[in-house]
Amino acid sequence: MNKLPERIRIKDIARLADVSVGTVDRVIHGRSGVSEASRLRVEKILKQLDYHPNMYASALASNKKYAFACLLPMHLEGEYWTDIEKGIHEALENYSDFNISATISYYDPYDYNAFVKASQVILDSEPDGVLFAPTIAAYTQGFTDELKSKDIPYIYIDSNIKDIPALAFFGQHSGQSGYFAARMLMMLAGNPNEIMLFRKINEGIVGSNQQENREIGFRKYMQEHHPDCQILELNLHAKRPADDNKMLDDFFREHPTVNSGITFNSKVYTVGEYLLERNKKQFNLIGYDLLERNVACLKQGSVSFLIAQQPEVQGFNGIKTLCDHLIFKKEVTAINYMPIDLLNSENIDFYLKIY
């Protein structure tokens, strides 16, 4: 046998199997028109050489187009989901050579039926893959069941539903994040008798699986390490922000000694800006995500810490994973946790330069 080159080519395999290059190509790509004897000879050589076709080159040569669908909560420009979208668009640009496109649609996170309606529109469009932020399991499962029946791969972003597994998930471990946040808040506060938990709620709906799971993790830490500390709650209006200051005034009037709090949504600026307006300087506040208004509160001292979760990376890797699975036929990692990044006024600028 002649010495083989370091990079095995199809013509090398054809020579060893004593068949044409076209026959090897048909075997590799599972096409018809090959005799059983020739197919067996080619497969034997492929196995001996541990040959894997260059899927990158094959994908470039293909004329197939891939249409992805993305479903995100409705949001304003500059909010958390804006960075998710930036990551999606960056991935689309990076993989533009492979004929991929994506349509982004939205649903009201405080209306479960809105999710159902938006997901049905996606099903009707029959995309090649789906990237979405799930709502609660009861309303997500109808969507995922249909995707499975159509053999459409889907990826969760931001929050995971373990009982309805996706091809992959990108986001923080929300329970661990809440547990960590509780530890940080108690280190700030010392050993208080009471702490404050701020929510954004509309008609009893929190609007995010992540927020609910963070709170579960938070309460777990408090029960294990500070069972005597009272957790006070204030539900601010998700759709009536004009009422927030009055509600906060009433709360602090009724609880003048509370000096520490946390919110698990991305709008900690709601409380942070209130504290600045009322000149309340002795309040320890922790929140999530690097919205401009959140960062401004961090730098001005009304927010003590922000916990970040790299939303652009989530959006980018979600699209990248669909490409890896559908185009390059790669195995993908199912669970992909984002780091729990703790930021304060001293390190925020260095972090923003990176991301």
Residues 184 and 300 in one domain: yes
CATH of the domain at 238: 3.40.50.2300
Looking at residue 1, its pLDDT comes to 42
Residues 227 and 298 in one domain: yes
Residues 219 and 128 in one domain: no
- Sign of the torsion formed by the C-alpha atoms of 290, 292, 296 and 297: negative
Number of structural domains in the chain? 3
Mean pLDDT confidence for 310-323: 96
Residue 104 has pLDDT above 90, yes or no: yes
Residue 31 is assigned to a structural domain of this protein: yes
Residue 210 is assigned to a structural domain of this protein: yes
Residue scoring higher pLDDT (354 or 304):
304
The band of 353, judged by pLDDT with boundaries at 50, 70 and 90, is low
Distance, in Å, from the CA atom of 208 to the CA atom of 282, rounded to the nearest integer, reads 30
Residue 58 is assigned to a structural domain of this protein: no
Looking at residue 88, its pLDDT comes to 98
Residue scoring higher pLDDT (114 or 52):
114
Q: What percent of the chain has pLDDT over 70?
A: 95
Distance, in Å, from the CA atom of 103 to the CA atom of 246, rounded to the nearest integer, reads 40
The band of 52, judged by pLDDT with boundaries at 50, 70 and 90, is low
Residue 267 has pLDDT above 90, yes or no: yes
Among 156-165, 174-183, 232-241, the least confident range:
232-241
Mean pLDDT confidence for 347-351: 91
Query: What are all long-range contacts of 93-96, with beta carbons under 8 Å and residues at least 24 apart?
Result: 94/316, 94/320, 95/319, 95/320, 95/323, 95/327
Distance, in Å, from the CA atom of 98 to the CA atom of 325, rounded to the nearest integer, reads 13
Residues 132 and 199 in one domain: no
Residues 243 and 301 in one domain: yes
CATH of the domain at 43: 1.10.260.40
Residue 44 is assigned to a structural domain of this protein: yes
Residue 331 is assigned to a structural domain of this protein: yes
Residues 208 and 184 in one domain: yes
Residue 266 has pLDDT above 50, yes or no: yes
Q: What percent of the chain has pLDDT over 90?
A: 74
Residue 7 has pLDDT above 70, yes or no: no
Residues 130 and 192 in one domain: no
Give φ, ψ of 68 to 5 degrees.
-105, 155
With residues binned 3-state (H G I as helix, E B as strand, rest as coil), the percentages for the chain, rounded to 5, are 50, 20, 35
Residue 353 is assigned to a structural domain of this protein: no
Residues 285 and 326 in one domain: no
Residue 1 is assigned to a structural domain of this protein: no
Letter string b/e over residues 115-146, b meaning 16 or more CB atoms within 10 A of that residue's CB:
beebbeebbeeebbbbbbbbbbeebbeebbee
Residues 124 and 231 in one domain: no
Residues 140 and 289 in one domain: no
**Predicted structure pTM score:** 0.83
Residues 179 and 304 in one domain: yes
Residue scoring higher pLDDT (52 or 329):
329
Residue 328 is assigned to a structural domain of this protein: yes
Mean pLDDT confidence for 283-293: 96
Mean pLDDT confidence for 333-339: 96
Residues 288 and 319 in one domain: no
Mean pLDDT confidence for 148-161: 97
Residue 355 has pLDDT above 60, yes or no: no
Residue 126 has pLDDT above 60, yes or no: yes
The band of 202, judged by pLDDT with boundaries at 50, 70 and 90, is confident
Digit-coded pLDDT (tens) for 128-146:
999 999 999 999 999 999 9
Question: Range of 45's domain?
Answer: 10-53
